[in-house]
Amino acid sequence: MKLTELNIGDKAILAAIEVDEDMVRKTLLLNGVCLGSLVEKNYSPSYAKLCNISIKGRMVSIRNRDAAKIEVVKYSEE
């Protein structure tokens, strides 16, 4: 499942980051977006073309084209 496929409020664990550009990959790592991290998708308006997530107490916005290259596994608290 891709990060963009999550619904608002869904939680997931990052499984793979397949972003091509090194600068984008470094920026994601600096903001705490790394494999095995728990993320929660927040509201982001569709016109903004951004995917807004919470990770480790931070809110991070990622372009939809980059978020579509991030593989996640849906997390359930059950």
Distances (CA, A) of 19 to 11, 22, 69, 77: 21, 8, 6, 28
Q: Enter the pTM of the model.
A: 0.87
Query: What is the tally of structural domains in the chain?
Result: 1
Cα angle, residue 16 at apex, residues 15 and 19 outer, rounded to 5°: 150
User: What's the CATH number where 65 sits?
Assistant: 2.30.30.90
Enclosing domain of residue 14: 3-74
In the block, tokens 């593989």 appear at: 71
pLDDT of residue 61: 92
Q: In the structure encoding, which two tokens stand for residue 37, read together?
A: 């991290």
Question: DSSP states of 50-77 as a string?
Answer: EEEEEETTEEEEEEHHHHTTEEEEE---
pLDDT of residue 46: 81
- Model pLDDT for residues 15-69, shown as the tens digit of each residue: 999 988 889 889 999 988 999 999 999 998 888 899 999 999 999 999 999 999 9
